[in-house]
Amino acid sequence: MILKQMLQLIRLLGLRRAGRMKRRYEKALPHVRGYAATSCYWTLLKVGLLDAMADGPVELEAFARDRGLDLHVLDSICSYFDGIAVLDYDHDARRAGLAKLGRDLLAEPRGLFELLYAYEPIFTDLEAMLRGDKRLGRDVQRRTDWVGIGSGRLCRQLPYPVMIDMVRRNGGRNVLDLGCGDGALLMELAAAEPELRAVGIDINGPTADLATRQIAAAGLGDRLSACTRDMFDLPGNHADLAAIDCLTACDTFHEYLWDGDSRVVELLANLKAAFPGARMVIGEFCKQSHESLRKRPTAFLEHHLFHQLTNQRIETADRWRDIFGRAGLRIVEEKVFDLVGHGYFVLE
């Protein structure tokens, strides 16, 4: 039957044209599917279905009823996800669970989806931004709390273990984390070092509040805290910062490089003066060349795009070394992973 239909199509279109069309559709499909699948992934993640499925298949009718969700929409998404093998969906029983692909997408790559969700408003308004009808900051903003959620999850995989090791070996016991996001680094530090106390600051109120809630939920409120504060206003009159012996910042400073590096140089010099004797453990993106990304088109291409579109400049490891030097800081230790575009520095 299928063969007969294929022969009919080839007769209608011609063999070469039919073959070329097929190949072109196959090239287009991952891009189109990426958009549809990502939108569905965000939706199921946000209503809690993907996490609920981590414990086993879920009865969709009860799930929709308990949360006031539209069963038809839920059913449509789950059918689609069954089609592309993210879920296993038993239509008759209206029961769906994670397939192997779904479990994989919910493991390490989850942070990629969360980070993309943080920048989704930029993509939604991309044409308006291109036409000059909307401006970044004034009309369009990223979701900073989701930057914290996505970044925190991704950084748990490599950056935090490297930075935590650096903090411990450099005697950090009272840590101040600049741009703490959802508090993930604070919580990982506390888990690794039972004696450690830490304060996180973030300029974004909802993000600092999220960190506070997560710290409380993890039962670490006696050793950790987070608050809304601007790192450019440090130290200010804050008794809680008197004992700080180590400053950390993971992927925070690059947000201030768009108009040149003088603000970051000045900030680092001020921090050095405000916290004499405290070492700094910095994790930052280190730019990979466009040529190397073309050869190995990793997720850093999307990452560079988010940053370009939101006026955040990613710099090379050499440029960071220069910035630290001009701020009067000495590099005590460094680890730069060109392959993943990230570098770690202990400074004094």
Ligand X SMILES: C[S@@+](CC[C@H](N)C(=O)[O-])C[C@H]1O[C@@H](n2cnc3c(N)ncnc32)[C@H](O)[C@@H]1O
| Residue from 40, 140, 176, 185 in contact with ligand X (CB under 6 A) | 185
* Per-position x/- string for 289-318, each x denoting binding to ligand X as judged by CB under 6 A, each - no binding: ------------------------------
Region near ligand X per CB under 6 A, out of 94-102, 130-138, 196-204, 236-244: 196-204
Torsion of the alpha carbons at 107, 113, 114 and 117, rounded to the nearest 10: -170
**Sign of the CA dihedral with 332 first, then 333, 338, and 341 last:** negative
Instruction: Measure CA 34 to chain center.
Output: 18
Positive or negative torsion for Cα 5, 6, 7, 10:
positive
* Burial profile 89-123: b = 16 or more Cβ within 10 angstroms, e = fewer: beeeebbbbbbeebeebbeeebbbbbbbbbbbebe
Task: Tell me whether residue 25 or residue 232 sits nearer to ligand X (CB atom).
Answer: 232
Contact of 80 with 40, CB cutoff 8 Å: yes
Q: Which of 255, 266, 322, 338 binds ligand X (CB under 6 A)?
A: 255
Q: In whole angstroms, how close is the CB of 236 to ligand X at the nearest point?
A: 12
- Least distance between ligand X and beta carbon 98 (Å): 26
Shortest spacing between CB 228 and ligand X, in angstroms: 8
Q: For residue 288, what is the DSSP state?
A: P
Distance between CA atoms of residues 32 and 27, nearest Å: 10
**Cα-based torsion angle of the residue sequence 237, 241, 247, 248 in order, rounded to the nearest 10 degrees:** -100
Q: Does 252 bind ligand X (CB under 6 A)?
A: yes
Residue 250 binds ligand X (CB under 6 A): yes
**Binding status of residue 266 toward ligand X by CB under 6 A:** no
Residue of 172, 181, 341, 343 that binds ligand X (CB under 6 A): 181
In the shown chain, the binding pattern of residues 211 to 240 toward ligand X, with x for contact by CB under 6 A and - for none, equals -------------------xxx--------
Among 111, 119, 151, 286, binds ligand X (CB under 6 A): 151
| 111 counts as binding ligand X under rule CB under 6 A | no
What's the full length of the chain, in residues? 348
Segment lying near ligand X (by CB under 6 A), choices 46-54, 79-87, 166-174, 245-253: 245-253
Single-letter amino acid, residue 29: L
Residues in the site for ligand X, rule: CB under 6 A? 144, 147-148, 151-152, 155, 178-181, 184-185, 201-204, 207, 230-232, 250-252, 255
